[in-house]
């Protein structure tokens, strides 16, 4: 079961215009956008699908009306889809669609879809830095920042679910779909990585009461910490509102900056996440502000110490 990670996250919203404003300002590209919604894509084609919450084509909403309506997972080949369908059909309905994709629900009632991944292979440099003692990554005269530098989300990174039953959630994704636990924040939940992705996590669970079931946040990978800071600063300067960050997490080592959104969840920029293989042994730490971040900064308006006294 070569699951790569989320291709699309599908939302049923009550304000498509607001979601369009937010997601385009965030840096995603509208694709086939109409007044009924559309796809907002990162550079590799993954992204957010937004529809009106009453759109009959959407999978059913959870009883609490959560805006998240489906998680669409990308896999490598048809054989992976068949393997997932065979496994899940043992104890639930699996709908095989004409286009070769399958739809079903997980053990908590979240709607799932599996498809051959839409991810385009990106060929772009990571943020380049220069440091004494190491070969320079930027050529002479190559600048690190410039005013209109690009800072676009490259790919859908991960999503985080509020789940009332942690054992059911972990059991389903690990035992049935082959995810592995990379680390665990005790009191919140585990970080999960699917088999065909070496990112520290594409999925994280937070234990909550039943009425909170839904999306806590979703995140896109940026090209590096500078792009994350630039993109977040541009949002702040346009009046969008930060929820948490910028900062750098400990588990996963990824930089983060979370923004509130009209999608019913926070939307995060992340950058420079750890990679893992099967030799990694999961760490466990009780959740706390100290355990969850290496450092946390607060945005402020640009300022300089001056002008000083005239000469």
Residues at the interface with another protein (CB under 8 A) = 13-15, 18, 22, 64-67, 162, 208, 211-212, 214, 216, 238-241, 243, 259-262, 264-266
* CB distance 32 to 39 below 8 Å: yes
Query: Could you tell me the strand order of the sheet in which 180-186 lies?
Result: 283-286, 180-186, 189-193, 203-207, 155-163, 214-221, 266-271, 255-259, 242-249, 293-296
Burial of 54 (0-12, 13-18, 19+ CB in 10 A): exposed
How many Å separate Cα 133 from the centre of its chain? 34
Closest CA to 271 of 231, 301, 299: 231
Least separation in angstroms between residue 33's CB and another protein is 17
Stretch that binds Fe ion, among 170-178, 182-190, 262-270, 298-306 (CB under 5 A): 262-270
Q: With CB cut-offs between 5 and 8 Å by kind, which of Fe ion, another protein, none does residue 277 bind?
A: none
Q: Which is nearer to Fe ion, 101 or 242 (CB)?
A: 242
Q: With CB cut-offs between 5 and 8 Å by kind, which of another protein, Fe ion, none does residue 219 bind?
A: Fe ion
Number of Cβ within 10 Å of residue 285's Cβ equals: 15
Least separation in angstroms between residue 259's CB and another protein is 8
- If one asks whether residue 228 binds Fe ion (CB under 5 A), the answer comes out as no
Least separation in angstroms between residue 122's CB and another protein is 29
Q: Which is nearer to Fe ion, 226 or 254 (CB)?
A: 254
- If one asks whether residue 219 binds Fe ion (CB under 5 A), the answer comes out as yes
Burial of 217 (0-12, 13-18, 19+ CB in 10 A): buried
Q: Which of the residues 9 through 48 are near Fe ion (CB under 5 A)? A: none
Number of residues in contact with Fe ion, rule: CB under 5 A? 2
Residues forming contacts to Fe ion in the complex (CB under 5 A) are 219, 268
């Amino acid at each position: 079961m070569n699951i790569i990670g989320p291709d699309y996250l599908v939302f049923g919203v009550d304000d498509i215009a607001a979601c369009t404003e937010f997601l385009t300002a965030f840096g995603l590209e509208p694709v086939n956008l109409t007044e009924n919604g559309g796809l907002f894509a990162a550079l590799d084609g993954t992204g957010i699908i937004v529809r009106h919450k009453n759109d009959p084509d959407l999978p059913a909403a959870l009883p609490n009306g959560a805006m998240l309506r489906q998680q669409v997972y990308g896999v490598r080949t048809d054989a992976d889809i068949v393997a997932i369908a065979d496994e899940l059909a043992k104890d639930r309905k699996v709908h095989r669609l004409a286009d070769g994709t399958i739809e079903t629900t997980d053990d908590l009632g979240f709607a799932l879809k599996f498809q051959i991944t839409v991810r385009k292979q990106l060929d772009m440099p990571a943020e380049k830095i220069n440091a004494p003692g190491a070969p320079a990554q930027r050529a002479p005269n190559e600048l690190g920042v410039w005013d209109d530098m690009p800072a676009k989300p490259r790919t859908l990174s991960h999503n985080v679910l509020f789940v009332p039953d942690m054992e059911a959630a972990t059991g389903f994704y690990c035992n049935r779909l082959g995810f592995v636990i990379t680390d665990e924040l005790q009191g919140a939940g585990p970080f999960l990585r699917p088999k065909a992705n070496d990112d520290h996590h594409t999925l994280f669970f937070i234990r909550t009461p039943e009425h909170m079931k839904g999306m806590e946040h979703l995140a896109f990978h940026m090209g590096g910490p500078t792009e994350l800071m630039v993109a977040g600063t541009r949002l702040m300067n346009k009046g969008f509102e930060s929820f948490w960050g910028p900062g750098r997490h400990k588990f996963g080592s990824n930089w983060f900056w979370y923004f509130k959104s009209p999608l019913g969840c926070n939307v995060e920029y992340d950058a420079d996440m750890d990679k893992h293989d099967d030799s990694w042994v999961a760490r466990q730490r009780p959740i706390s502000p100290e355990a969850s971040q290496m450092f946390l900064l607060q945005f402020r308006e640009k300022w300089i110490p001056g002008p000083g006294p005239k000469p």
